[in-house]
Chains A and B, each alone.
Chain A
């Protein structure tokens, strides 16, 4: 793989949180223009890896580069969009006020506000206070903020938690369209059945990369019919 085809490159990434080496020394990459699923049980280091890629995590050693620049560089702040696990939006503002504020911060055009609210299926709810929305609707407001402007890399930490099946299908369809238009997506999940929606998979356990390949290749190498059994077979094979 050439350097241009890799949107994110982590080299010997070591992150210590609260005295525990959450990532003891991870080397991995994320391919450009594809959907990479980051799968693993809770506590496996998914969020820490995502935070390191976005540049908000203090790193003990190793390097993370995104689009050829060190993660967290000022230039990346409008090119990398980040959706945290909990909806990071203002509960005491309306949907439109939230999206509008982040649009001003990003310098996105005003028409973007209506576009992204429509894209996450919240058209008609612009005037509703976010604090009064359901958990799923709130995380869609958070996702709408990440779609503002023209990000090149979209990093999503468990974006489909608490969403109904119809909405999950629609969101994955949208992720597919975004990847087809050239965006790089890194989506974490602990729901293994979402793996089939991804192009590539990274299976993370205790901060170690168990496998990183296309879905088909992982299934073939483990001779399993679904990702959940493939994951289990990799865990048991490794121990």
Chain B
């Protein structure tokens, strides 16, 4: 791999986003509106409980969808085949996407958490930057998962269907609906294997303790590990030779 090719790929993905104002606007505005809706309908104690995990879940879902459709498009349009016939390493391609969407994740996290903590009155015990860290790691996890599943989709319709298949079970088991230690034992084990559980745990740590704890970094580290495995698997699904 080379830094130049990774950077060129990231720059190209950002350029594509720059031409697609509507997608960027949706990525930035929709989470803000939903967050506002939550702040409006929930009591402030409930908003703290549900709002904070959502700060981490939005980037995951959004980047998952964007990446899986974007990568699928590359496979369908022949640009991926052309790139892989050129001197680019598979990790250059994968890291390029991760960098670009990680950057978008930073912007999204800044905007949404800025609004949540400011006007919407989310009461965070820990530092705000820790919220951003979790949101960005989640964005990267979404990118990694999106890259991986796009290998198993033949159409954009199929790619979009992977969202409820892979993300909704994590949402149900991550502790927002039922606290994780109150889940039936088997489901508790399953939730221990899902990355979103750790993302939500990390968010909860920031919400409840004023200092940045080792527990926080452990959870962030686990999410980052899932992301690294996802990116490696994603790179593994890229084939220079196809049938």
Contact = CB atoms under 8 A, between A and B. Distances in A.
A, B in one complex: yes
Interface of A: 17-18, 54-59, 72, 74, 77-78, 80, 82, 84, 86, 88-93, 97, 101-102, 104-107, 129, 145
Question: What are the 4 A-B residue pairs with the smallest beta carbon separation, nearest first?
Answer: A104-B8, A88-B78, A88-B82, A101-B12
Nearest to B88: A105
Nearest to B78: A88
B185 interface: no
Interface string B29-50: 0000000000000000000000
A84 B240 contact: no
Nearest to A16: B243
Contacts of B87: 74, 77-78, 105-107
B86 A58 contact: no
A57 B242 contact: yes
Given A56-B241, A58-B241, A105-B5, A77 B85 contact: yes
B242 A58 contact: yes
B15 interface: yes
Nearest to B12: A101
A106 B8 CA distance: 11
Contacts of B240: 55-56, 72
B241 A88 contact: no
Contacts of B9: 101, 105
Nearest to A129: B19
B182 interface: no
Given A17-B243, A92-B20, A93-B19, A106 B86 contact: yes
A193 to B, nearest CB: 27
Contacts of B79: 88-90
A18 B12 CA distance: 34
Interface in B1-31: 4-5, 8-9, 11-12, 15-16, 19-20
B20 A90 contact: no
A93 B15 contact: yes
Nearest to A98: B12
Residue from A54, A101, A105 whose CB has the most chain B CB atoms within 10 Å: A105
Nearest to B83: A105
11 contacts: A17-B243, A55-B240, A57-B241, A77-B85, A90-B77, A90-B79, A92-B19, A93-B19, A101-B11, A105-B9, A106-B86
Contacts of A89: 79
B15 A97 contact: yes
Interface string B229-242: 00000000000111
B241 A72 contact: yes
Nearest to A91: B77
B84 interface: yes
A230 B94 CA distance: 49
Nearest to A52: B241
A196 to B, nearest CB: 29
B81 interface: yes
A31 to B, nearest CB: 22
A92 B241 contact: no
Contacts of B11: 101
Interface in B184-203: none
Interface string B67-87: 000000000011101111111
A102 B77 CA distance: 15
Contacts of B88: 105
Q: Of B9, B79, B84, B88, which is in contact with the most chain A CB atoms at under 10 Å from its CB?
A: B79
A144 to B, nearest CB: 13
A107 B20 CA distance: 27
Nearest to A107: B87
A88 B81 contact: yes
Given A56-B241, A93-B12, A105-B5, A88 B77 contact: yes
Nearest to A78: B87
Contacts of B83: 105
Given A97-B12, A104-B5, A56 B81 contact: yes
Given A56-B85, A93-B12, A105-B86, 7 more contacts: A56-B81, A58-B241, A59-B241, A93-B15, A97-B12, A104-B8, A105-B87
A55 to B, nearest CB: 7
Nearest to B74: A90
A80 B81 CA distance: 14
